Structure 1
Amino acid sequence: MKEITARLWDNPKFGTTYGKGQYRRAIYNGTLEVSQPRSKYLVDFEEIETWFHTAKAPVHVGMTQRLDELPVNESGVLMSWIYRYELSNKIPVRGYAALDLNHHRLIIEIEDTDTQIHESWNLAVRSCIARTPGKPTPTLIATNATLLDSPQNPSTNGAFTGVNARALEELTHRVQS
C-alpha cells in the first residue's frame, strides 16, 4: 500500500456566496499527498447530496451514472471528488474521498491512470494542535506514513477534541435540521 497523507482545513468561506443563489458548500478543504509516485490531490468535503449534484467533470459524472439510486445525506458523513493538482491545474481523476466524522475515518479511493495510482485507503483521522503561532496547521490529519514530510509535522491530541468536537456537534446539528 502506498503512503498517503491527508491534511484537512476548516473552510473559512463555507456558507458565503459567490454569485446570486450560489453558496460555497465545502465544510473542509484539503490535500492528499501520495509519496510514490509523488502526487498531490485536492479535496473539498461537502454533504453527500451536494457532492453528488456537483459532479461536473465527465469522469465524475460517469461515476454518478453507475449508481442505482440517488445518495442521501447521512449525519456526520462528508464526500469529495478528487482532483490531481499539477502545475497549478486541477485535473479530475476517477475516485472519491469520504470523511466519516462519527467514526473518525477517512476513506479514499483513487484510480489515476496518468500516475499509475490505483489504491484505496481507510485511515484514522486525528485533530491537530497548532504549535507555532501564525503558521498554518491543518484542522484534521490522516496518514499511513511513518514520518510526515517537514515543515508540517503537526502534533496530534487524539480525535475530535476541543474546537473540532464543537465543529462535529455543529455539523451534526446542521445536517439534522
Structure 2
Amino acid sequence: MDAISNDGKILHKKIQGTNASPEEIAQFELRRGDLLFNTRNSRELVGKTAIWDGGDGVIFNNNIMRLRLNSMIAPEVIAMQFQLPLLKQELETRKSGTTSVFAVYYKDLKTLPIQIPSKDRQQKYVQVTKKVARYMAKMQEMASNAEQLTQSLSHKFFG
C-alpha cells in the first residue's frame, strides 16, 4: 500500500518482499499496465491509484485491487481520472469504515463516472503525458545537478 503514492506513482523502493507459492504468483502477479487501486487504508489514503510499471514476479496484497483493462482502454486515461477533483469527490461519497480504517469495494467503483474517450484521443493523451514526463525528469535531473554544483561551490569557498 505504501508503494502507491498520492499522486499516482509506484514507489519501487517501498515494495516489500514476501514468500508466495507458484499458485499465488499465478493468481496475483502484476503485469505492466495493471491499474492498482488501494481499497483499504485510512480515509485519506483509500483510493490511491497507480499503473504497474515494473517487472515480473511482483504480487499485490489484499488491500489492493488490480484492474486489468482490455486493450481498448489505456490505463493512463483511467488512472489520470482518479487524480481529478470530481472523481475524488465521487470516491469520497463511496468510502465506508470506522474511525481508522476505510474501504471502497468493486461494487462502489463500478458506478463511478469514468469517461472513456475514443482510442485516438486516448493514444494522443498517452503520447503527450509521456513527453511531459520525460521533460519533467530532465528538469529534475538539471535541478539536482544545480544543487550539487551549489554544494560543491559552497564547500570550495567556505569549507
Give the number of the structure whose residues are more often helix, by fraction.
2
Q: Which has the larger radius of gyration?
A: 2
Query: Do the structures match in fold with TM over 0.5?
Result: no
TM-score (norm 2): 0.31
Give the number of the structure whose residues are more often strand, by fraction.
1
TM-score (norm 1): 0.29
